[in-house]
A and B are shown apart, each in its own frame.
Chain A
Amino acid sequence: MGNSPPVFKQILSELGYDVVVPPPPSRRTLDLGTKYAPEFACIPFKILLGSYLEAIDLGADTIISTGGVGPCRAGYYGELHRGILHDLGHDVDLIIIEPPLKRPADFLRAMYLLFRERKAPLWKLPDIFWRAWLKLNAIDCVEKASHDIRTFEIDKGETTTVFRQCMEILDAAQSKIEIKEATDASLELLSAIPQDRSRDPIKIGLIGEIYVVLEPLANHNVQVKLEEMGVLVHRSIYLAEWTQNNALTNREYDVKKAAEPFLSELVGGHGRNSIGETVLYAQKGFDGVIQLAPFACIPEIVAKSILPYVSRKLNIPVMTLFLDEQTGEGGIRTRLEAFVDLLVQRKKKKEGQLACVGI
């Protein structure tokens, strides 16, 4: 998902496995997945299935994935992926890591399978995971920095080029010190990019389902596109942060509280957060919100059907992009441009009004 694969690769290879990293998801991955997935499975399901098939082609015989407890479908993906892969005649093991608290037996079994063939001694494990965690955080931190800069860059595209270099630097970092150094180096590289800080960009909040928000193939790199149009984009989800807030502790109270008046029930996936985040963005004075969701994603559809109401009440424009394998680059761009135009007009009008009041 997004920039995270190198981290998981690091964990597994340090455990002593031969790791096959499928190529970053591409059009081919998606086509492959679409071919064997149910029609109305959502795009993450299809991309994952495609990646598994590509990995199998490269010789993988074990696949590690995560489970879940619903009511979002994603928690069941692993089971169905296994069914489909076996039906296609591939003899692979699918180790599904279930949430430890809700399904302890399954979790332990997965851990057993996972560590059965490990070559690293037990005492090394905490260190392996701790460094992976640091790296995940470092990646997020560098990515955030890149988003703060791209909107203001003078040469279009420069941030993206530099960011790619940074990822390579981080990828090579192994020890704690190296990770720290790589992070600093990356941040320095980024801040050296010439910028025009006099711009007064409009601000958009990016919300929606975690996978499509994080995976550029699925969302056609919406955030970068917007930033290159000169918009300041705040993304609601980063992987390390999210893991901390959801899997490890439960710390998203403010988002939940913000959503409360509009949707009091947990609807799975990221549905209720989408509402809460929209409310928060409105309160923080953002100019607009874009919701990204896989086509036919139920929690997000639920959110979408409530969002118009939130938008009217709090006076903040919201646009939803539902993404599937047919979504084209061009279509996305036109819709983004139209939305940005609308926000710019609104902002001008608002400022005009304020100026009048001032006189």
Chain B
Amino acid sequence: MSKQRIGIPRSLFFYSYMPFWQTFWSELGCEAVVSPLTNKNMLDQGISHSVTDLCVPVKIFHGHISYLISQKVDALFIPRMVGVGTNDTFCPKFLALPEMIRCSFSSLPPIIAPRIDVRGPLGWFKLCSDLQREWVPERNVWGAFTKARAAQAHYEAQLTGGKLPHEAWPTFRWFHSVEQSKPLARTPELRIAMLGYPYSVYDQFTNGDVLQKLRNLGVQVLTAEMIPLGKRSRHRLRKDLFWHYSNMVVQAGIFWLNQGVAGLIHVTNFACGPDAMAGKLLELACKQQGKPLLTLTLDEQTGQVGINTRIEAFVDMLQRRILGAHNLPLHG
């Protein structure tokens, strides 16, 4: 029997869980076909397959699916993300993702759509063994499961160690679209937290490679994934938000503000529902601490040039603030 080919879209939650699922399926003897980096063609495909009012990330997700369909995979892996044990849930669009995809394409390979609402290792194991029993009954789940967990743990450790996804896991590696110039050296070092949903922060096509751009400007970029969960959730709000990623963004914002970063960049998506709330909370938090906030709103037409000028201006401003503070006379 030839290997089953399972299509895995590199989009949405996969920036958080790719190592797990990629390892899991390959260890079960399937071929994990991961869609490539988002590109113009995928975006166009995504737009033409989805209803106009959706946010860009979900349109892009449609694009990844359409790429995988064109690759003639045997099945698509689209888990329904409900909860990962953090007492919050995902954006409703994640909750209905399998159905949305089913309604948007006329012919589809089978969809593997487990409902992911798990707590602790036992829950994950149960989920995995259900999947294995249904899709690859001839294999054994235990090995695949432990390897997948190890891969995920390794990945998360790398992230909390300060790496970015493309440095931590091979699938995420990309070729820089922004030219690599020699980074400016800054004294004192400028630290900026860049916050947003992983699929916006790390998808260098949608955000015009802001991360690399910032690094080229000599900035030390800090993201939400760099904070270990335990530390992050110490910065809870009086009432938590309902959505996993939004809590992550707001908590990370407060965390980094307390760590004395120079400023925050909030990467958000046009018409993103949860972000309307999260963004305002970040704004209020920044105001309290007197720190500048730059909001970058992405949509399908976001131009690289516009982003670049805004980032440069922001970085310049922060730099001047820091230097200005250092030149202040010590006595009034």
Q: Is B210 an interface residue (CB 8 A)?
A: no
Q: Is A72 an interface residue (CB 8 A)?
A: yes
* Complexed CA–CA distance, A86 and B188 (Å): 36
Question: Could you tell me if B238 and A79 are in contact, using CB atoms closer than 8 angstroms?
Answer: yes
Contacts of A305 in B (CB 8 A): 50-51, 54, 100, 103-104
Q: Is B203 an interface residue (CB 8 A)?
A: no
Question: Could you tell me if B53 and A301 are in contact, using CB atoms closer than 8 angstroms?
Answer: yes
CB distance from B8 to the nearest CB of A (A): 21
Q: Is A210 an interface residue (CB 8 A)?
A: no
Contact of A296 among B50, B102, B239, B276 (CB under 8 A): B276
Known contacts A305-B51, A305-B104; A80 and B93 CB within 8 A of each other: no
Contacts of A269 in B (CB 8 A): 92
Question: Could you tell me if B279 and A72 are in contact, using CB atoms closer than 8 angstroms?
Answer: no
Map CB proximity to B onto A73-104 as digits: 1 under 8 Å, 0 otherwise.
10110011001100100000000000000000
* Complexed CA–CA distance, A84 and B103 (Å): 39
- Give the contact-size bracket for chain A: 35 or more
Question: Could you tell me if B99 and A71 are in contact, using CB atoms closer than 8 angstroms?
Answer: no
Question: Could you tell me if B273 and A271 are in contact, using CB atoms closer than 8 angstroms?
Answer: no
Question: Could you tell me if B281 and A73 are in contact, using CB atoms closer than 8 angstroms?
Answer: no
Q: Is B274 an interface residue (CB 8 A)?
A: yes
Q: Is B287 an interface residue (CB 8 A)?
A: yes
Q: Is A298 an interface residue (CB 8 A)?
A: yes
CB distance from B296 to the nearest CB of A (A): 14
Contacts of B276 in A (CB 8 A): 38-42, 73, 296
* Complexed CA–CA distance, A110 and B118 (Å): 32
Q: Is A201 an interface residue (CB 8 A)?
A: no
Give residues 85-115 of B contacting A (CB, 8 Å): 88-93, 95-96, 99-100, 102-104, 115
Question: Could you tell me if A38 and B280 are in contact, using CB atoms closer than 8 angstroms?
Answer: yes
Question: Could you tell me if B239 and A301 are in contact, using CB atoms closer than 8 angstroms?
Answer: no
Q: Is B277 an interface residue (CB 8 A)?
A: yes
Question: Could you tell me if A80 and B100 are in contact, using CB atoms closer than 8 angstroms?
Answer: no
Give residues 42-85 of A contacting B (CB, 8 Å): 42, 67, 69-73, 75-76, 79-80, 83-84
CB distance from B272 to the nearest CB of A (A): 7
Question: Could you tell me if B284 and A298 are in contact, using CB atoms closer than 8 angstroms?
Answer: no
Known contacts A265-B80, A305-B50, A306-B99; A87 and B273 CB within 8 A of each other: no
Count how many chain B residues have C-beta atoms less than 8 Å from C-beta atoms of the other chain.
39
Q: Is A130 an interface residue (CB 8 A)?
A: no
Give residues 250-295 of B contacting A (CB, 8 Å): 270-277, 279-281, 284, 287
* Complexed CA–CA distance, A305 and B238 (Å): 34
Question: Could you tell me if B96 and A263 are in contact, using CB atoms closer than 8 angstroms?
Answer: yes
* Complexed CA–CA distance, A83 and B278 (Å): 12
Question: Could you tell me if B89 and A80 are in contact, using CB atoms closer than 8 angstroms?
Answer: no
Q: Is A185 an interface residue (CB 8 A)?
A: no
Question: Could you tell me if B53 and A83 are in contact, using CB atoms closer than 8 angstroms?
Answer: no
Q: Is B82 an interface residue (CB 8 A)?
A: yes
Contacts of B174 in A (CB 8 A): none
Q: Is A309 an interface residue (CB 8 A)?
A: yes
Map CB proximity to A onto B188-221 as digits: 1 under 8 Å, 0 otherwise.
0000000000000000000000000000000000
Map CB proximity to B onto A302-314 as digits: 1 under 8 Å, 0 otherwise.
1011101100000
CB distance from A301 to the nearest CB of B (A): 5
Question: Could you tell me if A71 and B91 are in contact, using CB atoms closer than 8 angstroms?
Answer: yes
Residue of A nearest to B278 (CB): A38
Contacts of B243 in A (CB 8 A): 70-71
Q: Is A33 an interface residue (CB 8 A)?
A: no
Residue of B nearest to A271 (CB): B92
CB distance from B288 to the nearest CB of A (A): 9
Question: Could you tell me if B93 and A301 are in contact, using CB atoms closer than 8 angstroms?
Answer: yes
Contact of B92 among A106, A262, A268 (CB under 8 A): A268
* Complexed CA–CA distance, A87 and B286 (Å): 12
* Complexed CA–CA distance, A305 and B93 (Å): 10
Map CB proximity to B onto A17-44 as digits: 1 under 8 Å, 0 otherwise.
0000000000000000000001111100
* Complexed CA–CA distance, A303 and B297 (Å): 24
Contact of A265 among B53, B91, B95, B277 (CB under 8 A): B95
Map CB proximity to A onto B216-259 as digits: 1 under 8 Å, 0 otherwise.
00000000000000000000011101110000000000000000
Contact of B103 among A38, A87, A308 (CB under 8 A): A308
Residue of B nearest to A41 (CB): B276
Question: Could you tell me if B281 and A83 are in contact, using CB atoms closer than 8 angstroms?
Answer: yes
Q: Is A211 an interface residue (CB 8 A)?
A: no
Question: Could you tell me if A70 and B100 are in contact, using CB atoms closer than 8 angstroms?
Answer: no
Contact of A73 among B115, B237, B271, B274 (CB under 8 A): B274
Question: Could you tell me if A80 and B242 are in contact, using CB atoms closer than 8 angstroms?
Answer: no
CB distance from A46 to the nearest CB of B (A): 11
Chain A CB within 10 Å — which of B88, B99, B104, B279 has the most? B99
Question: Could you tell me if A80 and B271 are in contact, using CB atoms closer than 8 angstroms?
Answer: no
Question: Could you tell me if B80 and A304 are in contact, using CB atoms closer than 8 angstroms?
Answer: no
Q: Is A322 an interface residue (CB 8 A)?
A: yes
Question: Could you tell me if A73 and B100 are in contact, using CB atoms closer than 8 angstroms?
Answer: no
Question: Could you tell me if A70 and B242 are in contact, using CB atoms closer than 8 angstroms?
Answer: yes
Question: Could you tell me if B51 and A80 are in contact, using CB atoms closer than 8 angstroms?
Answer: no
Question: Could you tell me if A73 and B99 are in contact, using CB atoms closer than 8 angstroms?
Answer: no
* Complexed CA–CA distance, A79 and B242 (Å): 12
* Complexed CA–CA distance, A40 and B297 (Å): 11
CB distance from B74 to the nearest CB of A (A): 24
Residue of A nearest to B90 (CB): A71
Question: Could you tell me if B238 and A296 are in contact, using CB atoms closer than 8 angstroms?
Answer: no
CB distance from B139 to the nearest CB of A (A): 28
Q: Is A192 an interface residue (CB 8 A)?
A: no
CB distance from A316 to the nearest CB of B (A): 15
Contacts of A263 in B (CB 8 A): 96, 99
* Complexed CA–CA distance, A83 and B281 (Å): 8
Question: Could you tell me if A73 and B103 are in contact, using CB atoms closer than 8 angstroms?
Answer: no
8 A-B pairs whose Cβ atoms sit less than 8 Å apart in the complex: A71-B243, A73-B277, A80-B277, A83-B280, A87-B287, A262-B103, A265-B99, A295-B271
Residue numbers of A with Cβ under 8 A of B are 38-42, 67, 69-73, 75-76, 79-80, 83-84, 87, 106, 262-269, 271, 295-299, 301-302, 304-306, 308-309, 322
Which 7 pairs show the lowest CB-CB distances between chains A and B? A70-B242, A309-B103, A40-B276, A267-B92, A298-B273, A38-B276, A302-B96
